[in-house]
Amino acid sequence: MKVRNQTEQLSAFILLGFSEDPSLQPLIFGLFLSMYLVTVSGNLLIVLAILSDTNLHTPMYFFLAKLSLADVGFTSTSIPKMLVNIQTQSQAISYAGCITQMFFLMLFGGLDDFLLTVMAYDRFVAICHPLHYTVIMTSQLCVKLVLVCWTITVLNGIIHCLLVLTLSFCTHVEIPHVFCELNQVIHGACSDTFLNDFMMYTATVLLAGGPLSGILYSYSKIASSICAISSAQGKYKAFSTCASHLLTISLFYGTFIGVYVSASTDPSSASSAAASLMYTVVTPMLNPFIYSLRNTDMKRALKRLLFIKFS
């Protein structure tokens, strides 16, 4: 009853964002609105190109389409609310809205993580076992892998949100971000957060460390296979099929690590908020460019799609 009463007193969290300087708000609004529109349009173009071109109906592009949709969801969970707050000159987000936003951030962020791992496995099979690729990477297996990704990330989000709901909060909670980040919400509670911290760090180790280990293992095998190729042209062709994925992984984990390093040194700093936005906005925005500019098949499909649309 005590926890319920304390929680009922909390009507909203305060998202401090980057700057309270009114002169900077129009600039911030325009910048992130532009980035959001580029992110959504770019990722949806990737999905439409894959759907419209039968040459791209392969496991690699099947997973890429799912990654693009996850990026749209990831960005749409945080940026629209931030833009509304800037426009209305309000920093508040409701208690229910904060919990909901936190769930979807964990869901889509986890999906990105697991889909990148599945894509690494796909490249491992394609390069290390090319003769058995079509036998191993069947459409049924691809669908099952995506369903596993969804199941794990949904369960992870539900568990953390349920644990947050057991916490009692003070009547005034400030979050030094533009969205409700799990770690910041937990440490804004007035009650004991030991179980929440334990589950959060355990999930980080398992759900971030596990997929990263799988990616590193896959690419260690890929590197060995590429080195065994005799011709330089063959090595280049094999490596080029992985280059876009490697760059996406570097961006994803680089910004992810930056978030937690900055948060551990100074959780309330502006650099921590900036690192979080790099993770939730910049990486999803750059992914379409990475996959379209370095991929001949994707460029051809996009040109065909845009030609049909505007002809």
Pair of tokens at residue 241: 């099929």
Choose between 125 and 3: higher pLDDT: 125
Question: Which residues make beta-bridge pairs with 93?
Answer: 13
Q: Which of 20-24, 33-37, 42-46 comes out lowest in average pLDDT?
A: 20-24
Would you place residue 270 in the very low, low, confident or very high pLDDT band (cuts 50, 70, 90)? Answer: low
* Other beta carbons less than 10 A from residue 156's beta carbon: 19
pLDDT of residue 275: 67
Task: Please determine, for residue 72, whether its predicted confidence score (pLDDT) is greater than 60.
Answer: yes
**E strands within 144-271?**
173-175
Range of the domain at 158: 2-310
How far is 211 from 116, CA to CA, in rounded Å? 8
Q: How far is CA 18 from CA 25, 145, 181, 286, in A?
A: 9, 38, 15, 22
- pLDDT, mean of residues 262-274: 60
Pair of tokens at residue 28: 């911030």
Task: Please determine, for residue 87, whether its predicted confidence score (pLDDT) is greater than 90.
Answer: no
For the whole model, what pTM was predicted? 0.89
- pLDDT, mean of residues 54-79: 93
Select the highest-mean-pLDDT range: 231-235, 257-261, 304-308: 231-235
For residue 197, what are the contacts with CB-CB under 8 A and spacing of at least 6?
186
* Mean pLDDT over each residue of the chain, to the nearest integer: 85
Pair of tokens at residue 1: 């009853």
Pair of tokens at residue 243: 């280059």
Choose between 259 and 125: higher pLDDT: 125
How far is 190 from 274, CA to CA, in rounded Å? 26
The total of structural domains in the chain comes to: 1
**Residue 269 region by backbone torsions, left for phi larger than 0, else alpha for psi between -120 and 50, else beta:** beta
Task: Please determine, for residue 262, whether its predicted confidence score (pLDDT) is greater than 80.
Answer: no
Would you place residue 200 in the very low, low, confident or very high pLDDT band (cuts 50, 70, 90)? Answer: very high
- For 252-255, which contacts have Cβ atoms below 8 Å and span 24 or more sequence positions? 252/112, 252/113, 252/116, 252/279, 252/283, 253/212, 255/279, 255/282, 255/283
pLDDT of residue 1: 39
Q: The domain spanning residue 274 has which CATH number?
A: 1.20.1070.10
Residue 58 contacts residue 103 (beta carbons within 8 Å): no
pLDDT of residue 7: 47
Pair of tokens at residue 252: 């994803």
What does the H/E/C string look like for 9-60? HCCEEEECCCCCCHHHHHHHHHHHHHHHHHHHHHHHHHHHHHHHCHHHCCHH
Q: Which of 12-16, 151-155, 206-210 comes out lowest in average pLDDT?
A: 12-16
Q: How far is CA 181 from CA 44, 128, 160, 170, in A?
A: 26, 39, 12, 17
How far is 257 from 263, CA to CA, in rounded Å? 10
| Distance between start and end Cα atoms, the chain | 65
Nearest to 42 by CA among 72, 63, 64: 72
For residue 109, what are the contacts with CB-CB under 8 A and spacing of at least 6?
74, 279, 280
pLDDT of residue 166: 92
DSSP state of 93: E
**What's the sign of the alpha-carbon dihedral 164, 165, 170, 174?**
positive
Task: Please determine, for residue 196, whether its predicted confidence score (pLDDT) is greater than 90.
Answer: yes
- pLDDT, mean of residues 257-284: 68
Task: Please determine, for residue 281, whether its predicted confidence score (pLDDT) is greater than 50.
Answer: yes
- pLDDT, mean of residues 200-218: 91
Choose between 257 and 104: higher pLDDT: 104
pLDDT of residue 119: 95
